[in-house]
Amino acid sequence: MPLMASRVGLLAALLLAGCAADSQSRLPAFMRVRDPEPPPAEAAPDVPLLVRKNLDMIFVPTTQPRDLEASPPKRTDAGDAWTACVRAQIISVAGAPLRRQTYRLTIKQSEIIDRRRATASDCLSQDFKPILPTK
């Protein structure tokens, strides 16, 4: 009889171990699978440094961008990247000054992964600060 009880106990333990005991299960907390921890939050990127390093990627080199300004980075809605706006005064191929151009950058892991011309709503309430050249 004691041998039978131990076998039944072992069988019950094996059955419980094989059950899908996810975090929503009715099993006690110590028997449930824990939810994975979210990845650590990425630090805000240094937008002026990224702009200086990637100036030729953001603006066409022949436009000779000057008076560079950038907005502080903001988290995307998904929370997995950052966005920032950058603007500069540029000139045309003929040498005539053009209006100020503004681009919206998407940054992930301190790398610009997307650049597109900003729409009116992209950078509307942004607080732009000058990007000073490195010495």
Helices (H) and strands (E) in the chain, counts: 3, 6
Q: Give pLDDT tens digits for 1-53.
A: 566 666 666 556 655 555 555 656 677 777 777 777 776 777 899 999 999 99
Domain-wise residue ranges, the chain: 2-31, 47-130
Q: Which residues pair with 86 in a beta bridge?
A: 70, 103
Mean pLDDT of all residues belonging to the chain: 82
